[in-house]
Structure formats: structure tokens, C-alpha cells
Amino acid sequence: MRHLISISDLTDADLRAVVERGAEFAAGARAKSLEDVIVGVYFRRTSTRTRTAFTSGALRLGAKAVTFGPDDLQLKTGETTQDTGRVLAGMLDMLVARTADATEEMRAWAAAGEMSVINAMSAEEHPTQGLTDLTTLLHHFGRVDGLRVLYVGEGNNSAAALALALSRFPGVELDLRTPPGYGLAPGILATALAQAERSGAKLSEQHDMAARPSGLDAVYTTRWQTTGTSKPTADWRDVFAPFQVTRELWDESPDAVFLHDLPAHRGQEVTAEVLDGPASIAFTQATHKLHSAMAVLEWCWAERP
């Protein structure tokens, strides 16, 4: 029984295999590896890319999809998480869930029975986004090892998944520039630093935009206002303003591509000139959500009897 609730649920070999399989789907691979599998898709928060990717990905692989909205389950009327998990596990083979809450609920569902659980975004981490990001990099560059990536913006759940994933690839250099008070969670940063030391990657986090690296392969940002969250300070926009991604970043790295997990707010975290410019592969990255979702679904099902 395999679950994907965190990037940490994947071994190094699994991580590389899932990313490579996503790139194969991006290159045109086809499969019907999930025939007769029933996949539940439960989103308590809004989603365009991730929900569509997993629903259409399941169908493309031959599975049947059962979808639930935020008010559809008896969790709304007081049924416990554990009881809900036991019931769903008796009817579904997999459950793809977005809660934007802590991952304990997903861990409870994973413990409930014969049902794989996939985290489509929680408060701490967005693991399927991290896998999409690496699939995008692999498909574009032909490798992940040795890439130089600058992440600019909040140390949110997408940044957490990116750090936990990239830090396991040899030679990668990941430079995170996060606003003061809005960095990676200490536990995530400590884990990523330990992984980088083990793998031969380099990871650093700074809270200003001074002395930026040059010769980058990719610049990445995310929306300042993450789905389902609020900022603890009223002046947060002033704190974030110096971390806007502008064309100036390409002065030191003219060949870098631009990544964004979308949705984007032009004029906030990124200028329209960058998002809609020739360096941007953000909308290709969004398409790779489908390819990565298919790879995740296959991986979860691979060792089932």
C-alpha cells in the first residue's frame, strides 16, 4: 500500500522514477494501467489545475473517478475523520484530497484500510506540485541533477515541496529568497538542508534580494496569497514588495526559464512582462500537472495485488 502525503514518503529511487515517468507522459507516453480502479477526488478548497489533472489523469489511465465537493461528505455534519476514512476505504482504491489543513487527517485516512491517499495540497506541503515542478524541469532541460534554481517569495507549501524534492538531486543549487517572517517552516528547512548535505546538492535561504546568483537555469515564484491562508501582519504587502519577480532578474541569468505554480496575480508576485514573456514556461508547467498526476497515480497503484 503506497501513499503520497509528503515528498518524504518517496525514497530517492521512487522520487526519480515518478519524475521520469511524468516526463515520459509529457513526451507522449500512453497507458491503461489503472483499468477497473476507482479513484475518489475530494477537494475542500478551490482548484483548477490539480483537481482537473487528477480527474482527467485517472480517466486517461483507465480508472473511474468519483468526485466530492467541500460539502458532500458527512464530515460536514459531524462524522469523525476516522469513520469517514473507514467508509471510503471500503469503496475506493485511491483518494486524492485537498484540505489546506494539517496532514493528520490524511494520515488517518491512510491508516483506515485498503485505500491509497494522495495529498493534493495541505497546509504544510503541496507534494504533487513539487513533483510537477521537477517533471517540468526534466522535460525542459533533460535533467534535474545540477540545475541552478532561484525561488522568490513566501516559504509556503509549494516552496516546501520544492525544497524537499530538489535537495535530493546531486549538484542542484536551490537559492530561496523569502520575506522576513515568511520563510520555510524550520522543520522543512532542516530536513531539506540535511538531504542536500547527503545528496551533494546546495540549498540556502535568505530574507533579502541582495547579491542574487547569476547563471540560473530557472526562476520560480508563487502567488503571495496562498489558497486558504491569511497573513498574520497587516503590512505584509510592504514586506513582500521587494520580492516581486521582474525582468531585472534576467540581467544576471538571460537564459533562465520562469516557473509559477499558478494562479498568478500580475503586478503582485510577478510582472505581466515576465509571466507572459518569452522566458515563461508557467503554462506548460500547468499542463505537466496532468502528466505528473498520472505518474503519481501509477506509482501508488504499482504494487497493489
Predicted local distance difference test score (pLDDT) of residue 75: 87
Domains of the chain from N-terminus onward: 7-125+289-301 (3.40.50.1370), 129-286 (3.40.50.1370)
In the chain, pLDDT over 70 holds for what percent of residues? 98
| Interval 255-274 mean pLDDT | 97
Query: 113 pLDDT exceeds 80?
Result: no
Predicted local distance difference test score (pLDDT) of residue 101: 77
| Interval 156-182 mean pLDDT | 97
8 A C-beta contact, residue 289 and residue 49:
yes
Neighbouring residues of 75: CB distance < 8 A, sequence distance ≥ 6:
81, 84
Predicted local distance difference test score (pLDDT) of residue 228: 59
Please give the grid coordinates belonging to residue 5: 502525503
pTM over 0.85: yes
Amino acid at 4: L
Tell me the per-residue pLDDT of 54-97, one tens digit each, with 9 for 90 and over. 999 999 999 999 999 988 989 889 998 889 999 999 999 999 99
Predicted local distance difference test score (pLDDT) of residue 112: 82
Nearest residue to 103 (alpha-carbon basis) of 114, 118, 83, 85 = 118
Query: 303 pLDDT exceeds 80?
Result: no
- Give the residue, 101 or 92, on which the prediction is more confident: 92
Average confidence score pLDDT of the chain: 95
Strands lying side by side in the sheet with 94-98? 64-68, 38-43, 94-98, 116-119
Query: 270 pLDDT exceeds 90?
Result: yes
